[in-house]
Structure formats: C-alpha cells, structure tokens
Amino acid sequence: MPRLILFVVLLLILAACGQSDPGAAMMRYLQARVEADADKMRGLSCAEWEAQAAIQAQSFRAMNAQLDGVTCTTGAQEGEYTLVDCGGKIITSYNGENREWGLGAYRMKQEDGEWKMCGEAE
C-alpha cells in the first residue's frame, strides 16, 4: 500500500511539472492543431486567442496534418508573455499536394494556473 501511495504522489508531481512548462503546453497546442481539435485548442488558448484557435482548427480539418521533428523550448520574457521557440514543421496533405509549414516563436501566458497559447510572436 505505501508503494501505491508513493507512486500516485510521483505521478501527480510529474503531471504538475508538465503543466509548468510553456514549451510542453505549446507542444500540446500544436498536436491539437494537427488533429483539428477545436475544443482542445480553445482549452489550450488564452482568452484573447480562443476565436483564432477555432479558425485554425477549421482550416486544418481536411488537411491530414502531422508534426515533423517539432521541439519547443522556453525563451525570453516579452511583457506579460513568455516566448516559446518551436523548430520543426507541420506537414499537410490536401488534394494530393503536400505542404510544409515552418514553425517559429509563440507567445504564452499563464491563465487559471496553466500555460496558454496567445498567438505568434512578432
């Protein structure tokens, strides 16, 4: 029984660590984007980005998208935002044509105790 309790505590700690990393949160957003999961994307977006997240999900709905070599790392602070730099690409396929979408820097901020995507960095 004590091992089970220790195991559960460790899982909770690991889950909390994943939520405290803006890069990991951005990876979850990108995965939801290629899945065209509007609900998940809105849940991973700050309030000001939710409408744009729904538009992005709609635009990816018919594209059979996938992530390719994507990594996201936390960068500098920019006012109320933390910048996250993502390398790699999104590959989409539509009507037999493949297209590659490069990634860049994104603005993240904490809302309700979680990191949320707030748009591309300028």
* DSSP letter string, 15-43: HHHHHT-HHHHHHHHHHHHHTT-HHHHHH
CA-CA distance, 16 to 6, in Å (whole number)?
A: 15
Range(s) of the domain holding residue 23: 2-120
Containing 101, the helix (H) or strand (E) segment is strand 97-102
Q: Of the candidates 119, 93, 97, 92, which has an alpha carbon nearest to the alpha carbon of residue 108? A: 119
Residue 24 phi, psi (nearest 5): -65, -40
CA-CA distance, 55 to 63, in Å (whole number)?
A: 14
**Which amino acid would we find at residue 75?**
G
Q: pTM score, two decimals?
A: 0.81
pLDDT number for residue 2: 53
DSSP secondary structure letter of residue 45: B
Q: How many domains does the chain have?
A: 1
Residue 19 phi, psi (nearest 5): -75, -20
pLDDT number for residue 23: 97
pLDDT number for residue 4: 37
pLDDT number for residue 85: 98
| Full pLDDT tens readout for the chain, 122 residues | 554 343 333 333 334 444 579 999 999 999 999 999 999 999 999 999 999 999 999 999 988 999 999 999 999 999 999 999 999 999 999 888 999 999 999 999 999 999 999 999 98
Report the CATH number at residue 68: 3.10.450.50
